[in-house]
Structure 1
Amino acid sequence: MHLTVLARFVSSTGAEAAFFIGLWGKAAYEFDGTPTDLAIMSAIIGVAAMIGSVGGGALVDRFDARRVVIGAEVVFVPATLALILASDLPRLLALGTVVWLAGAVLETAITSLPPALVDDAGLDSANARLESANWLALVAGPALGGLMFPLVGFSGIFVFDAVTSLVALLLVLGINLPDRDAARAPADTLATGGPLDPVTDARPGPLADVLDGMRLAMTKPAIRLVLFLAALPSLAFGMFIALEPLFFRDVVGAPVETLGYVNAIFGVGLFAGSMWLERRDRQFTTFRNGVLVVMASGLGSVLYVATGDLRVVLIGAITWSIPLGIALPLSRTLAQRAAGPTHVGRVTGLIGTVSSGASLLPIVVAPVLAATLGIQRVLLAAGLLATVLAPLAWRAAAREDRVSAAAAPRSAPEGSTTEPTG
């Protein structure tokens, strides 16, 4: 599993540097992008992420996660280098769309690897470690990009992204997966029951794969619950994407570089949350704990914007990011267990699609709401939304936990880590 974790950290470090310094920086500073331009860019990113996530999930289940990671990296490298050629904002957006599509496929594929690499008992720890690598890259990538930019400019940042992707590709080539024909969904996984049995209900074609994954998600309460819990933090995130810079400018009265410092602290909190989960045993990974951490993240975001005092903002960044760092890998583990090995990619991709879609919705209404109610009130409401709505899922979460507890004694973990240890 360590090669997968390292590959994600290396690849994500370059991607975060290219996104925050390269793409956003080039759009805003070199091409003098307006708020409307950046909103359009955010919308394109969100749509590309939705399409790439659901498509990547279908590819994972049709081929395997390792092959899809390799293919996505092969596409990603020339696509990110092509950004050097963008001479205006429309060309940057057009070329960037390919990057964001490939990146979403890559994200879905690499986060679908743990169920193929470890047994069920190790899935909690594997997903937490994989997410910790991503959060650490969220801190390291922009920091390295900021240090490199005065020396190499925008072009050098995109080259750095391509190099890190090539390194990640070499690492993934060292991963061995078990024979796909030998993989069988355990008898108690949700994907094997009823009319959605992957053998008796198999249909040809990639679109059929996507539709089958959606049908599975809509008919299995456990997966629907995970999608609901994944959407709530994303709704708040979408509002913050649109309004957070204005909050720091108009409410906190802080200079622009403060955003970078606070987001670095936020990334550290996300990393700490995932690492905390990695050290817990499987008993913590329950649907009810999923509800609780989503509620806690909502309360943390409320504290984040509750005052204009920067000290309170910093405390809020920690109390928001730590439970959020727990929530994502926890939800992914619950969904992957519910999906079974035959539908892991499609269900993992749906989580990405739902999260991206949920973050897009607030971008549309944020300017109007902020003009009517004020920036701080809108952000407070966004945080409260998760806090208020998450408890509505408590009874469903308790029911799914009882189902899982009843099935656990009959589901002995099978398999072992198949990744080389050297």
Structure 2
Amino acid sequence: MAETNTQDNPTRLGGMFRALKYRNYRLFFMGQGISLIGTWMQQIAMSWLVYRLTDSVFLLGMVSFANQIPSFLLGPFAGVISDRFNRHRVLLVTQFLFLLEASTLAALGLTDSITITYILCLGVFAGVVNAFDMSARQSFVVQLVEKREDMSNAIALNSSMFNMARLVGPSVAGGIIATVGEGMCFLINALSYFAVLASLLLMRLPHMERKVQDTQVLKSLAEGFQYAFGFQPIRDILILIATLSLFGMPFTVLMPAFARDVLGGDASTLGLLMGASGVGALAGALYLASRKTVVGLARVIVVASVLFGIGLMGFALSQTLVLSMVAIFVVGLGMILRMASSNTLLQTIVDEDKRGRVMSFYSMAFMGMAPIGSLLAGWVAEQIGVGYTLLGCGFICVLSIIPFLMGLPKARELVRPIYQRLGILPEIATGLHTASHLSSPPEGGKM
């Protein structure tokens, strides 16, 4: 585990920022924060460029499919790599490869040589890299905080950083696209990777002994699959994330079409919508960072799922920019509460020697199902329109919480021994509210 170096941080950081007292986590937080702003700028520029070149919502979905399907296909293998090799070194390699991809995009964009074929090919390349990056990064974060009780705060702060970048990146990108074009956004993203590479190189990580794994890759995959899907709490969370990605996340792919065709706007309108979604997500992430325990996160997931679905349906029916921004704010809030709470629960209950493989399944559910949903949503939107497509997606997302709710009592019973072993339940037992209709029985544990 990463060392605690309080001398590096004379200010006593508590409450929602307590994970920042760890030097390595602070470096990670700052480097990733800068890089993610560039990533969001590139994503907005890419979406706008594709729609400008093709006028096709189907091709918007196809580009997203090309970028994300490798996470679905390679996710399990990436998990094995994450469990077998040094995650810090894996991240150094993946971030350098992202730098090469963004630099190539910038060169093509700034010389007006970019085509949809280049975009698809580079999207596949980035998707392959991202499959290995996500598994290693999700597992690496927990190495940067020494105390287990600060892990949930670190994950929540990660979500805050991600959504702060989503707030800043699209807003800046909208103005840059309108004045100098998409290529400059690609260049800024390429330069931003130097920040995350520097942060990784500056970390002081203690040597970690890894279990010697003599098993073959396929056997390791089977072991990880059996562990993840044989334990109901993990399985239920993974299914919930997959459902959200399949039916909920396509709203981001259809956003350029909604901004231009429904609201009659331009790239700046798209930036405002993405910014409003980012504000909602940031609010949700800060709320999670302020929580002192993982207990009760299952209830947060349920409420967040309802908020997300209702917000998406409201967004689909909106015809004005103001109402659209309010609705997409609720969507962003519900999305991050559901995603980050699920991530935190997984990271809390998973065994360390299987963390990489479980988080690769999380990446498959999150990033892997999204391209299928994007492709499907793009095709449906071509047939019935963007509004009706988003309305249906929102309705399905509300319904998706029902199986999770039905399995919650048993899942809490299975998680309780883990919480007791980690010392979580005794610390907060006096603060539990058992009167809620979502509460577990007196003898059960709460997720």
TM-score normalized by the length of structure 2: 0.78
Mapped pair 1:24 → 2:52: no
Q: How big is each residue's C-alpha offset from its partner over 1:344-393, in whole Å with a ceiling of 9 and x where there is no partner?
A: 22212211211233323333443564466554333222111121120221
What CA distance in whole angstroms lies between the structure 1 residues aligned with 2:381 and 2:181?
35
The answer to whether the Cα contact below 8 Å between 1:243 and 1:375 also exists between their aligned partners in 2 is yes
Corresponding position of 1:300 = 311
**Matching residue of 1:352:** 363
Correspondence 1:12-161 to 2 at 5 A: 12-21=36-45, 23-29=46-52, 32=54, 34-51=56-73, 53-86=75-108, 87=113, 88-118=115-145, 119-148=147-176, 153-161=181-189
Separation in 1 of the partners of 2:97 and 2:262? 42
Residue in 2 aligned with 1:171?
A: 199
Instruction: Answer yes or no: is the 8 Å Cα contact 2:47–2:256 preserved in 1.
Output: no
Q: Alignment length, in residue pairs?
A: 394
**Counterparts in 2 of 1:161-310, with a 5 A limit?**
161-181=189-209, 203-205=215-217, 207-241=218-252, 243-249=254-260, 251-252=262-263, 257-310=268-321
Give distance in 2, aligned partners of 1:243 and 1:20: 12
What does residue range 259-408 of structure 1 map to in structure 2 within 5 Å?
Answer: 259-366=270-377, 369-370=380-381, 374-408=385-419
User: Secondary structure at the residue paired with 2:353?
Assistant: coil
Residue 287 of structure 1: CA displacement?
2.9
By how many angstroms is 1:170 displaced?
A: 1.0
Identity %: 22
Cα distance in 2, alignment partners of residues 84 and 256 from structure 1: 19
- TM-aligned CA distance change 1:407 to 1:213, over 3 Å: closer
CA distance in 2, matches of 1:107, 1:306: 34
Cα deviation, 1:300-356, whole Å, max 9, x if unaligned, reads 222222343443322212222112222222111111223221122221221121123
Query: Partner of 2:400: helix, strand, or coil?
Result: helix
Greater shift, 241-250 or 288-297, is seen at 241-250
Distance (whole Å) between structure 2 residues aligned to residue 32 and residue 110 of structure 1: 34
Superimposed CA distance per residue, residues 87-123 of structure 1 (whole angstroms, 9 cap, x where no aligned partner): 3332332233222322343233222223222232111
User: Structure 1: which 5+ runs fail to align?
Assistant: 184-197, 414-422
Q: Is the 8 A contact 1:115 1:341 kept in 2?
A: no
Shift of 1:208: 4.2
Match of 1:43, as an amino acid?
F
Which residue of 2 is the match for residue 419 of structure 1?
A: none
Separation in structure 2 between the aligned mates of residue 168 and residue 374 of structure 1, nearest angstrom = 40
Question: Which TM-score applies when normalising by structure 1?
Answer: 0.83
Contact 1:273 1:322 in 2 (8 A): yes
1:5 aligns with 2:41: no
Equivalent-residue separation in structure 2 for 1:135 and 1:252 (angstroms): 24
Which amino acid counterpart does residue 290 of structure 1 have in structure 2?
Answer: I
Query: What is the deviation of 1:72?
Result: 0.7
Find the aligned partners of 1:34 and 1:306 in 2 and give their Cα distance. 21
1:233–1:298 contact (8 Å) kept in structure 2: no
CA RMSD of superposed structures (Å): 2.9
Say which is worse superposed, 39-48 or 142-151, in terms of deviation.
142-151
The change in CA–CA distance for 1:40 and 1:166 in structure 2 (over 3 A counts) is: same
Q: Tell me, what secondary structure is at the counterpart of 1:308?
A: coil
Deviations 1:66-88 (A, max 9, x none): 22211111222223212245433
- Give the whole-Å Cα distance in 2 for the aligned partners of 1:19 and 1:127: 23
C-alpha spacing 1:364/1:102, structure 2 compared with 1 (3 Å): closer
Structure 2 unaligned blocks of 5 or more: 1-24, 425-447
Contact 1:16 1:142 in 2 (8 A): yes
